[in-house]
Amino acid sequence: MLTFILRRFFQTIVVIVILSYVCFGLMNLMPGDPVELMISANPRITQEDVTRLREFYGLDQPVYKRYFAWVSDISTGDLGYSRTYRIPVTEMMLPALLATFILSMASLIFSLIVAIPLGILCALKPNSKVDYAVNLFSFAGISVPSFWLGIVLIIIFAVNLGWLPAGGYQTTGMQYSSWFAEMMDKGKYLILPMVSLSIQSIGRFSRFTRSAMLEAMRNDFIRTAKAKGLSNQVVIWKHGFRNALIPLITIIAISFSSIFSGALITETLFAYPGVGRLIYSSIIGNDFNVAMVSFVISVSMVLLMSLVSDILYGVVDPRISYK
């Protein structure tokens, strides 16, 4: 197993290096650069300023030279300096990553808490009224565009009812008397974006759970377990659900891989200072250092979670071996 993990780890590094170069090259193919943005914000910037700034930022150098310069900086632990925000990348990325992690994890966990029981319930009572109702909810959840759902949630809960804030991360400028007060305040801001993100995931997860569980419950060993007189709970959770876990692990692992990538539309709608918005603005603004660090994190997470799901297959199903 150790050989398997090491081999996969090495492959992961190679893939990251190749993809990062491709990404760097693609970003360079986009027209314009950060200096163009400066010109649009300041009509008095002269052509001499433009030439000087391009030279200063190294934008006049070929792509491969700039890539190697970036790699050499990264290898020394210097993630660079954001051209857009004018601060070191680490100072900017860490709070955004934390905010996104909280939102994505809360949404993922909430989705799983709701979706798995719903999926199992539907699988145990296929074609029942409950199954139809859950199916309807699931398809609606998958189909509803998140930007529309977000606006509807804001109008209902923030504008009309006034129960929840329309957007943000915390009450700006609020003094917290205790850790609990701060948690309650931030939690309130998390509800709408979390629900907006979760509705789609709940639909997807419940559909997967239902089909995986239906498949598992049709197996001979389930009939044998029932014939042995085992309780329903044991049959469902120990024999049925455990066997339904393999396809579920794949989709949950994929979802996990995006917890640091952010949710651009949701974050933008709810003015949530997460990493999704940061990645978008860095790509649009040709802020190479931020975009590349974000990219490496995203790619690493996908590859890492793919590795984790492969390992977990073996944990839930001992028949699977690593070679």
Q: Phi then psi for 125, rounded to 5 degrees?
A: -125, 65
The least distance separating other proteins from the CB of residue 257, rounded to whole angstroms, comes to 18
Residue from 75, 76, 127, 175 in contact with other proteins (CB under 8 A): 175
Binding to other proteins by residue 69, rule CB under 8 A? no
Contact segment (CB under 8 A) with other proteins among 13-21, 85-93, 212-220, 295-303 equals 85-93
Binding to other proteins by residue 316, rule CB under 8 A? no
Binding to other proteins by residue 281, rule CB under 8 A? yes
Q: How far is CA 229 from CA 119, 219, 220, 226, in A?
A: 25, 16, 15, 5
Q: Report 243-272 residues binding other proteins (CB under 8 A).
A: 268-271
Residue 162 host element (H or E):
none
The least distance separating other proteins from the CB of residue 149, rounded to whole angstroms, comes to 13
Nearest one of 120, 138, 101, 105 to 248, comparing CA atoms: 120
Binding to other proteins by residue 237, rule CB under 8 A? yes
Binding to other proteins by residue 320, rule CB under 8 A? no
Applying CB under 8 A, what is the total number of residues that bind other proteins? 82
Backbone conformation region of residue 80, classed left if phi is above 0, alpha if psi is from -120 to 50, else beta? left
Cα dihedral sign, 248-251-257-259? negative
The least distance separating other proteins from the CB of residue 30, rounded to whole angstroms, comes to 6
Binding to other proteins by residue 62, rule CB under 8 A? no
DSSP state for residue 230 in the 8-state scheme: -
Residue from 6, 13, 133, 155 in contact with other proteins (CB under 8 A): 155
Collapse the DSSP code of 67 into the 3-class scheme (helix H, G, I; strand E, B; otherwise coil) and give the result. helix
Binding to other proteins by residue 167, rule CB under 8 A? yes
Collapse the DSSP code of 81 into the 3-class scheme (helix H, G, I; strand E, B; otherwise coil) and give the result. strand
Contact segment (CB under 8 A) with other proteins among 185-193, 204-212, 214-222, 243-251 equals 185-193
Binding to other proteins by residue 77, rule CB under 8 A? no
Could you write out the DSSP letters of every residue in 15-53? HHHHHHHHHHHHHHHSS--HHHHHHHH-TT--HHHHHHH
The least distance separating other proteins from the CB of residue 289, rounded to whole angstroms, comes to 11
Residue from 1, 5, 30, 320 in contact with other proteins (CB under 8 A): 30
The least distance separating other proteins from the CB of residue 268, rounded to whole angstroms, comes to 5
Binding to other proteins by residue 302, rule CB under 8 A? no
